[in-house]
Amino acid sequence: MTTSLPEIMLPGRKVLVTGGARGLGEAFARALVAAGAGVVISDVLHERGEALAAELGDKVFYVPMDLSDADAIKAGVDTAAKHLGGLDGLINNGAITNSGGKQMADIALDTWDRVMAVNVRGTWLTTVAAQPWLAESGYGRVVNLASDTALWGAPNLMAYVASKGAVVAMTHSMARELGPQGITVNAIAPGLTLVEATEYVPQVRHEHYRNGRAIERAQVPEDLTAAVMFLLSRGSGYITGQVLPVNGGFVMK
């Protein structure tokens, strides 16, 4: 599935995308550029991030950022905002899985802690670092990447599922804290999407999703970009604290 232009335009908006070097983050960066936004992508995949930024042109800048490192997060967000001349939007996309295919009793403590450090603490600290920039813009939009695994209770993926459940809860709380500053905070909850990071997923899990969806086909990154663009747009200004499953109807709320 391909799209030529996103359905919603964001001319002049300034957006930071974490985990932007590949997969969903790359898809969001490409859609933002097509929508007219200035974009900073951050990641720990430095060569890929720099190459993508160079490919997408002078509206895109790459900033190294390790979401498990509090100092790197603060420095990365400030660098991104200074490069763009402020921040209007933040997509908290960066995350790791690391517990796929393991029963909960088999997950090592350091694996659990690593997933929580990146997916939960990283999302929290990135939003904290971006908060003053988003408030100053008078427009702030935060989009968190949750997962429908936390909505249906996917087995053999406990650390990741727990981390994304925390992202859902944080979305609600962040929305209440940041609302008085004019910042909206929402989340999308994708289903199993065909990206490099999900290549490890067994075919039986892919089939489980395909057979359970109302729209019976594989999910691809472009299925998510329009929802994210909308949540970054002016038209979503009275929507906050919401979690939108984007998964072909596998989970319905």
pLDDT digits (tens, 9 = 90+) for 50-103: 999 999 999 999 999 999 999 999 999 999 999 999 999 999 999 999 988 899
Instruction: Specify the CATH number for the domain of residue 68.
Output: 3.40.50.720
Q: Is residue 251 in some structural domain? A: no
Residues 103-159: tens digit of each pLDDT: 999 999 999 999 999 999 999 999 999 999 999 999 999 999 999 999 999 999 999
Q: Which residue has the higher pLDDT, 192 or 135?
A: 135
Q: Is residue 51 in some structural domain? A: yes
Greatest CA separation found in the chain? 49
Element (H, E) at 230: helix 222-232
Q: Which residue has the higher pLDDT, 150 or 194?
A: 150
- Domain with 156, as residue range(s), is 14-245
Residue with tokens 């919401």: 242
Summarize the confidence of residues 199-222 as an average pLDDT.
Answer: 85
Could you give the number of structural domains in the chain? 1
Q: Is residue 1 in some structural domain? A: no
Q: Would you call 238 a catalytic residue per the annotation? A: no
| pLDDT reading at 4 higher than 60 | no
Annotated active-site residue in 160, 200, 209, 238: 160
The half-sphere exposure of 125 on its side-chain side, counting CA atoms within 13 A, is: 20
Summarize the confidence of residues 195-207 as an average pLDDT.
Answer: 77
Cα–Cα dist 232/99, whole Å:
31
Confidence at residue 6, expressed as pLDDT on a 0 to 100 scale: 52
The half-sphere exposure of 96 on its side-chain side, counting CA atoms within 13 A, is: 18
Q: What does pTM read for this prediction?
A: 0.94
| pLDDT reading at 5 higher than 70 | no
Summarize the confidence of residues 194-200 as an average pLDDT.
Answer: 75
CB-based burial label for 28 (10 Å; 0-12, 13-18, 19+)? buried
SS3 content of the chain, % helix, strand, coil (to 5): 50, 15, 35
| pLDDT reading at 214 higher than 50 | yes
**Among 173, 206, 203, CA closest to 187:** 173
SS3 for 14-51 is EEEEECCCCHHHHHHHHHHHHCCCEEEEEECCHHHHHH
Q: How confident is the model at residue 209 (pLDDT cuts 50, 70, 90)?
A: confident
Q: Is residue 99 in some structural domain? A: yes
Q: Is residue 3 in some structural domain? A: no
Q: Is residue 236 in some structural domain? A: yes
Q: Is residue 40 in some structural domain? A: yes
Q: Is residue 5 in some structural domain? A: no
Q: What is the residue-averaged pLDDT of the chain?
A: 94
- Going from the C-alpha of 249 to that of each of 37, 70, 190, 203, 216, the distances in angstroms are 30, 37, 10, 19, 9
